[in-house]
Structure 1
């Protein structure tokens, strides 16, 4: 039996016999979340379908598929808003077993970032300007004075703390006439009925307001409030008197939704005995009822490619192609289609890959150093010792070789480790600088 199936058996054995889990029909390979809970059943039965997910006693969701990496998440925000910080992204291993990491990428990557190359510098306020004239010619008003953020002015997006405008009360010493003002309408009173009877007049409601916001003055005399102090409104928004709904009979259960693994059977009922009318309440309760069903048939498990093997030695049958022959050969690498079982699809593509090559193993080759590369990712990905590096690469002189070979003009690769003689010989080849504001190493 497949290794991942054996892993399930071992896992359930360690959990004191049959491990009972919450089984889910949907597993999101990007977020690692479970959806559409089917119920609590044995792990072996849930994972008859490799597309399902499950939650055990720790509450975390996992996949029934053989273990593989998720895609990398999007890069997160910069850890600081100005000067140098870092962004991070993660990937997660979901499934039964463990994920291969032949390239040593890990599950966390960190790169440097600069949102703004300077930090805001606050400015200073100048002196207050003179007070402006009072806003009214009688009674009490207000006057304003202003100041400017210019001593010194802020830089790099900075500001001055505090208000740029100050307001003060001013009294003209003259009495103003007070004109009447309406107070807000009081809320509408209740309608004369709670629902509308078909063929009858609509119920009505009333509301009132008072001329006391403010009351008109008598000396000097103010104007009274214009308009009426009451309003009448028809309650046209009321529904017809409601008729609540009632449930009909349950239908028979449907066939099982799955042809392999675990699925559901469903039955339904209609809210039509009677159907609700005129805004009457819909039937309380559920219109559908589900029941777990187990086909006891394992679902197909599609194959997954292993990582490619290393490229083998560049060679050509019956001919020495090393160094000065400048003759092309071929090399190949292979991969294995893993986990296919129960009629699942084979892995797409070929298990063998070949390419045109030149064998430069232990050849004496000359070259020149490149310009500096871009700065790399921060290593390690968290903690106070993270640093990033850039390098110069020895670019070999391959002008004696044909870089496109054969009738299809295939690009040739250079295989093996030559003796490199690069100029200038004593140039600095690597630079390393610390990464700034890197988060501490904690579990996500």
Structure 2
């Protein structure tokens, strides 16, 4: 147990969550989270209390038990783990450790290698280690999509030299395809579980839809040969972050892992080009296809979680039986075959939990020696048998179960397994079609039974009758199927005479004034006549007069309609109306006013044009040429009065974008209201210019004006031209402040002993100050003492020669070391004539000219060699994240010209100095 409070601020104790549990020969490797301090311990298989080794679990086990991971150990003892290497879980890694090979990992913080992966499983297959996972697809450029993949590395990979050091050089990954065929295929993109059959070179996988979509699951199987075929095909690569992913030829067809040689290992033949290819070529272009066009098993409205496969010897052939765990806590037992008649066959559905309880299955393991299946749930482990042949009591049930484990033993007259049969010749099996077990079946009635005397009690008494029945058993409803609809019992010859119910109360009178009538009713259901009994005799309804002494008031009614009024429009459709009045009151039902359409013939068409807009540029090329457009609008309508035609609403929108891309485009939008043709309006005076958008490197400024009508005139204004004007400003280049370069390496010590000094330098060229920018602040040279130990003979090193004095002499001195055991022999001071300085008295102008010419020729030759080297061997980075604009700004052009001039002449400067 461990205390969470030290790391995650929880107040309860936690347990060490075991995330890696592997058996390697006679050892058991366990790795746990250990309270966010991952730890791996190796123990003996026969004695678990004996600890053989204890190592750090980082990169072998996650920090957090909620983080995803998987691992596999090879025969040579290397541990391959796919997990997260950091505390926050943001650095996924495929890591190799332990054993005799050097530790290697995938590229760190490179989402193109691993992009938020969910690791499923890992397998040791020949010279390779295979990892199955699902991740966000980097090659999908429209939204976020999850793809299932298989990744592969060579087990003898030792990493790169200089490039890809401590990193896989054989890492590749390919997409797994599991889809339902059709004109538009349906893809199951998310891998959930895998199972490897090494004897058959098959890998089974469970695929589901996204958790946020409709639930659907499928099982697909893949050959190792199809996986190898995808890895031998072309790659898919991206030149830069803005380009699309395109197919790239595979530089190494039929790739095989290298072999160890005497020159340094399996990667000794890697060149700089092959390492660059390994760094950028890892995603395969082809998809790994399953062994069948459609999945082996498909089911909607459910999500599969785990899968194991057992190979069963049947009567005539081998069968692959799948045990599929679901999110509901059930296990589906199904056949895995490409035979169309048996594809998708469910043998049975095993219910593990009590009714109404649901819990996902977390793990499945088969123990063949015990013929058992172990099921892992949240808080317990269940053990169930692989076969249950004893449940089938008859030969028909045994054979119709279509279970590869079971067959009918004619000698023992029981359903047994092939191993338990008395003789294989007496053991029969029939697996030609899918079984009916655990399949939804609607119920259907069987035949009616014969009529029999019976007593029937309907609540009003008991009578002697004839009855017959039928059952819903041909077939019965199964697995949620619909039951039978209809009666299960028929009763006949139960005679009963009908009887009247009491009269109901009198109903409402049919009139409110004047003579009317009211009614009451009764029914013949007290009791109802049944099975040949007499019906009731007498009337069902009784009526009588009412309101005989109540006289009605004078009637209220509408007068006749008046004539139609004049039409509201001369053409194009109008309305006219007529009226009527309510006589003898004001409560007549209906309306007193009526409308009708009139003059429906179309009006003559009237057309109006707006003025032309000013010419506007719509496309500007790099050379300065541009294309312009102007626009006008035509309005037309069918009106009775041509002066009522309105010019439609016009919207003017302009946008200005800086040429260097440093700021977002600014948009001005103005929309005028509807205007009547022929109105006058005009522009106001221009406002003052706004402040420049940038202090340097060419910004812009604007000024505005408004469109207004003359005073006293209504109607919205319309003016020709733009309400906003733009102008360039501050086109001078921005100042660049200087910055120091890195320090150079320390020079050699000035003396071998006795105390000297060495120095290092740096330059103000990273970048160099330009356009009035600040210069670098600080020292450009740094010195330090060195070789301070005493020299042999006792004397310390000579000091530097002093400057020439008035007598034409230079002086230097030395000190006898106090720690030296040797005697100091000689003088402690020395002097020399200034004329004896080497080279000063004999240096002439001829030497200067010769030196200059030779330095010039040497510098030219050196410049040519450097230029050839850069052109042949220097290549731009394939993974550069810098996006260069297609049309450089003017300041960038001048900077490039200056840099080119500086690079070409710096070698001449070095040669002359």
The reply to whether TM is greater than 0.5 is no
Normalized against structure 2, the TM-score is what?
Answer: 0.13
Higher relative contact order (CA 8 A, sep 6+): 1
Normalized against structure 1, the TM-score is what?
Answer: 0.24
Return the index of the structure with the highest Cα Rg: 2
Is the helix fraction higher in 1 or 2? 2
